[in-house]
Amino acid sequence: MHPRLAELMRFLEEDLGYEDITTSSVLPEDVKALAEIVAKAQGVVAGVEEAKALLEHFNLRCRALKEDGEDINPGDVILEIEGSARAILMLERVVLNLLMRMSGIATATRRMVAIAQRYGVKIAGTRKTTPGFRYFEKRAIAIGGGDMHRFRLDDAVLIKDNHLVLVDIGEAIRRAKQVNFTKKVEVEVGSVEEAKVALEAGADIVMLDNLSVEEVEHVLTLVEQRGYQAIIEVSGGITPDNLESYAKLRPHVISTGYITTRAEWLDMSLRLRKR
């Protein structure tokens, strides 16, 4: 059983209501069908494992012709499905939505990873995800070759700008290290000066948020010259258009909400025929 089957079932319940009244009105229960899920765009497929879990839960036979992480082109068949026509039609939209959304994120991630990898830089996601759908969006990032970053607030210490309205950087780092001795402490900073303070205070990771290319270069030079051991993460407004200008500087990580908030869905369709 898929570990997220309960969530997949909730997606179906949202779409289904009490029943698919159209299909149950026009199709007898014993009608069998064959179906194919077909790509209509080029990209990276993701969500095959989840789609199969949901389809097989309703006793539909599935054969995956493409696995998660594989490249796909228009016309490629991703899944072959066989069984109850009613069940196939009931699940059609949820399965397609799942595959198209996850594949869009995986595709956007793969494109950015390809740029960053030239310079030995990791691409990471953020917590800018759809409420209730985070697991699937984060998994799509991983399928695309990215790092998922924090999944939940209890995964890591990340001191952000709103924390620093209430407590200064040095004190925040000191408190966080005292309480969370098993976890690294990351600090989000918005200027070169704040980065210097965070580095001096012993932050394990310094996130440079919305700094210019020149400012990021300044901080990285400082880290090299003074031998700081902190991981440097660049974030804020990173898109495929400006990614390379930051990646060339070789920070350790570039995190971006683009891959979840602006990734286009990868178009697919379900083709059905009577068995």
Active site members: 128
Q: Where are the alpha helices (DSSP H) in 68-148?
A: 85-117, 134-143
DSSP 98: H
Q: What are phi and psi of 84, to 5 degrees?
A: -60, 125
β-bridge partners, 79: 37, 64
Chain center to CA of 72: 19
Q: Using CB atoms within 10 Å of the CB of residue 198, give its burial: 0 to 12 exposed, 13 to 18 middle, 19+ buried.
A: buried
Query: What are 58's two structure tokens?
Result: 């309703």
Asked if residues 82 and 275 have their Cβ atoms less than 8 Å apart, the reply is yes
Phi first, then psi, for residue 159 (nearest 5°) are -80, 115
The DSSP bridge pattern shows strands 122-124 and 77-84 to be: unpaired
R_g of the chain computed on alpha carbons: 23
| Calpha distance 11→261 (Å, rounded) | 20
Amino acid making up residue 92: E
**DSSP code of 45?**
-
Query: Is the alpha carbon torsion for 23, 24, 28, 34 positive or negative?
Result: positive
